[in-house]
A and B are shown apart, each in its own frame.
Chain A
């Protein structure tokens, strides 16, 4: 046997070893309970979003209560409501400004697929412009549905392969 190349050794351990999975788990745990979100609210679903954010339903219980109005500080983009053709470039700009890692929730039928507005003015689902992690159906979705979506996203984040700064890229 020749000499073990340290770099290759660490690469192997860090990507699948005990420490790496634990770091992965801890980062996932940390990230899922501190979702700073950017609410991109345009239309009707915003009213239900307000309900979900307020004292009655309160999604702060899931660690998603912090609203930042700067995309650069946000982890999660909450696209709530209809995205028209005129609004689309704005949404794209906002998404591009977000730092990694970021997640997107499409809330309501219009954001998911255009909803009942199947016409010239409306983007038929925001996944035509930006990637989406969780889709919330409903026109508009009830606050419970929004809470459920946040739980689903947390589950996804927990089981995701986390990206961290000092990880050796392949």
Chain B
């Protein structure tokens, strides 16, 4: 007997929604107590995507657990990488080089756009606006193309590493980036035209699931959902990290806190994100490779062959996607010190010290070992404040790792949000919370 079964009155109808329901994203179950079509009471059950993230991380080294963070909020994996990595950097007391910080800003803003695009795409599709869904995904596809060009993966990138980023931006990144921005802007304009004054859309979202500022703060809302209620809190403004304090952007706010405001805030935030990206690209310092300081070197297989007889000194050419391991680019994108980063591949393959460094970095008990203590750090994720709390006992794997997932707090308010509304209103409400299973259930 669940809570709602005990509490339900005899006249009302109990109905089950999810977890295998198109609008429940496969990972949530809502038990509804209905009076006709009106939801009298409900019970939300989470945990259908519990994958043991936190416990698994305790058995991984600090370097190895990075891929697990990709799969938390899988629509914006780069922000999750960033959250974890920034927490580790706070613990290790290191700071990424300036160029790496700008690259991080560009990447995380693109991720935010892709997150909002997907959230709104799902929300609109479930309301029946299939055209809008196709438009949104088209824009997301262009963004992922850009991300893939630099990081080598569309979604699960593991690109942002402790001490910097894995690789420099692709030499021709501007082409795809401009295209992604152009397509996204066009899509936003089209969608605005399709939805903003659309009677059906407004009827389904206006004044539904109103969250007033007090309720939002009490439940621990963050991100677009909190800002839709009119509370101006953005981690990027409140506790600036990276180079956000040097970039100009606004924090869009809603006035009522209903579904329409949550949609509006996301739309406006995407525009702001694109604005941030434009500024970041302009302000980003040039790397050695782009300033033409780098000389052409020899091919990797030749370098390995040459190293068999004598110590190799020449520069090795690597493919653009592997630039992170090119020695000359490393100072621009990774911190100094062999303790925190993977040693350059040229050294690993051509001399014995490099090989030893490489082994020492990956050997259990010898990798990144932060000092004893605990640390919390949060970044502005797609859904809100994404915080990592890590306790270190001085070894190379965390003693405890906790994730402050933004959507847990939002989903916990879902019961109150849908109370007194129709069944059909559950769908846009649930869509506007942007529940992401990986992050919610961990």
Q: Is the CB of B118 within 8 A of A47?
A: yes
Interface flag for B51 (CB, 8 Å): yes
Q: Interface readout for B59-87 with A: 1 if CB under 8 Å, 0 if not?
A: 00000000110010011000000000000
Chain B residue nearest to A140 in the complex (CB) = B155
Interface flag for B19 (CB, 8 Å): yes
Q: Is the CB of B26 within 8 A of A84?
A: no
Q: Which residues of B contact A116 (CB under 8 A)?
A: 67-68, 71
Q: Interface readout for A86-118 with B: 1 if CB under 8 Å, 0 if not?
A: 110011001000000000000000000000110
Kindly identify which residue among A42, A48, A120, A121 contacts B27, using a CB–CB cutoff of 8 Å: A42
Interface flag for B182 (CB, 8 Å): no
Q: Interface readout for B121-165 with A: 1 if CB under 8 Å, 0 if not?
A: 100000000000110011011001000000000111000000000
* Known A-B contacts A119-B52, A120-B52; A41 and B25 likewise in contact (beta carbons under 8 Å): yes
Q: Is the CB of A46 within 8 A of B26?
A: yes
Interface flag for B174 (CB, 8 Å): no
Interface flag for A35 (CB, 8 Å): no
What is the bound-complex CA distance between A117 and B59, given in angstroms?
A: 12
Interface flag for B55 (CB, 8 Å): yes
What is the bound-complex CA distance between A139 and B158, given in angstroms?
A: 12
Q: Interface readout for A124-151 with B: 1 if CB under 8 Å, 0 if not?
A: 0000000000000001101000000000
Q: Which residues of B contact A122 (CB under 8 A)?
A: 51-52
Q: Which residues of B contact A55 (CB under 8 A)?
A: 134, 137-138
Interface flag for A82 (CB, 8 Å): yes
Interfacial residues of chain B within 21-60, with CB under 8 A of chain A in the complex: 21-22, 25-27, 47-52, 55-56
Q: Interface readout for A31-68 with B: 1 if CB under 8 Å, 0 if not?
A: 00000000011111011101100111000000000000
Kindly identify which residue among A54, A56, A121, A139 contacts B51, using a CB–CB cutoff of 8 Å: A121
What is the bound-complex CA distance between A121 and B51, given in angstroms?
A: 5
What is the bound-complex CA distance between A116 and B137, given in angstroms?
A: 27
Q: Which residues of B contact A82 (CB under 8 A)?
A: 49, 51
Interface flag for B12 (CB, 8 Å): no
Q: Which residues of B contact A119 (CB under 8 A)?
A: 51-52, 55-56
* Known A-B contacts A42-B26, A47-B155, A140-B156; A54 and B138 likewise in contact (beta carbons under 8 Å): yes
Interface flag for A28 (CB, 8 Å): no
What is the bound-complex CA distance between A119 and B133, given in angstroms?
A: 35
Q: Which residues of B contact A139 (CB under 8 A)?
A: 156
Interface flag for B224 (CB, 8 Å): no
Interface flag for A10 (CB, 8 Å): no
Q: Is the CB of B51 within 8 A of A69?
A: no
**Secondary structure of the A contact surface, majority rule:** loop
Q: Which residues of A contact B48 (CB under 8 A)?
A: 42, 84, 86-87, 90
Shortest Cβ distance from B76 into chain A, in angstroms?
10
What is the bound-complex CA distance between A94 and B26, given in angstroms?
A: 12
Shortest Cβ distance from B362 into chain A, in angstroms?
17
Q: Which residues of B contact A42 (CB under 8 A)?
A: 26-27, 48-49, 437
Q: Is the CB of B438 within 8 A of A43?
A: yes
Number of A residues near B (Cβ < 8 Å) is 31
Shortest Cβ distance from A97 into chain B, in angstroms?
10
Q: Is the CB of B50 within 8 A of A84?
A: yes
Shortest Cβ distance from B159 into chain A, in angstroms?
15
Shortest Cβ distance from B250 into chain A, in angstroms?
29
Q: Is the CB of A48 within 8 A of B137?
A: no
Shortest Cβ distance from A105 into chain B, in angstroms?
15
What is the bound-complex CA distance between A56 and B441, given in angstroms?
A: 31
Q: Which residues of B contact A50 (CB under 8 A)?
A: 118, 121, 137
* Known A-B contacts A82-B49, A84-B49, A87-B48; A44 and B137 likewise in contact (beta carbons under 8 Å): no
Kindly identify which residue among A51, A87, A117 contacts B137, using a CB–CB cutoff of 8 Å: A51
Interface flag for B20 (CB, 8 Å): yes
What is the bound-complex CA distance between A91 and B137, given in angstroms?
A: 27
Interfacial residues of chain B within 87-121, with CB under 8 A of chain A in the complex: 118, 121
Kindly identify which residue among B19, B55, B438 contacts A90, using a CB–CB cutoff of 8 Å: B19
Shortest Cβ distance from A86 into chain B, in angstroms?
5
Interfacial residues of chain B within 200-256, with CB under 8 A of chain A in the complex: none
What is the bound-complex CA distance between A1 and B74, given in angstroms?
A: 73
What is the bound-complex CA distance between A51 and B140, given in angstroms?
A: 9
Q: Is the CB of A54 within 8 A of B134?
A: yes
Q: Is the CB of A41 within 8 A of B50?
A: no
Q: Is the CB of B155 within 8 A of A48?
A: yes
Most buried by B among A43, A84, A119: A43
Q: Is the CB of B438 within 8 A of A47?
A: no
Chain B residue nearest to A114 in the complex (CB) = B51
Kindly identify which residue among A48, A87, A94 contacts B49, using a CB–CB cutoff of 8 Å: A87
* Known A-B contacts A44-B71, A48-B154, A139-B156; A56 and B47 likewise in contact (beta carbons under 8 Å): no
What is the bound-complex CA distance between A42 and B25, given in angstroms?
A: 7
Shortest Cβ distance from B383 into chain A, in angstroms?
15
Shortest Cβ distance from A161 into chain B, in angstroms?
31
Q: Which residues of A contact B141 (CB under 8 A)?
A: 51, 54, 56
Chain A residue nearest to B148 in the complex (CB) = A142
Q: Is the CB of B26 within 8 A of A86?
A: no
14 CB contacts below 8 A, A to B, read A42-B48, A42-B437, A43-B49, A43-B71, A43-B74, A43-B438, A47-B74, A48-B155, A50-B137, A51-B141, A54-B138, A55-B134, A87-B26, A90-B48
Given contacts A43-B27, A43-B437, A90-B48, 14 further A-B contacts (CB under 8 A): A42-B27, A42-B437, A43-B71, A44-B71, A46-B25, A47-B75, A47-B118, A48-B155, A69-B21, A84-B51, A86-B47, A87-B19, A116-B67, A142-B154
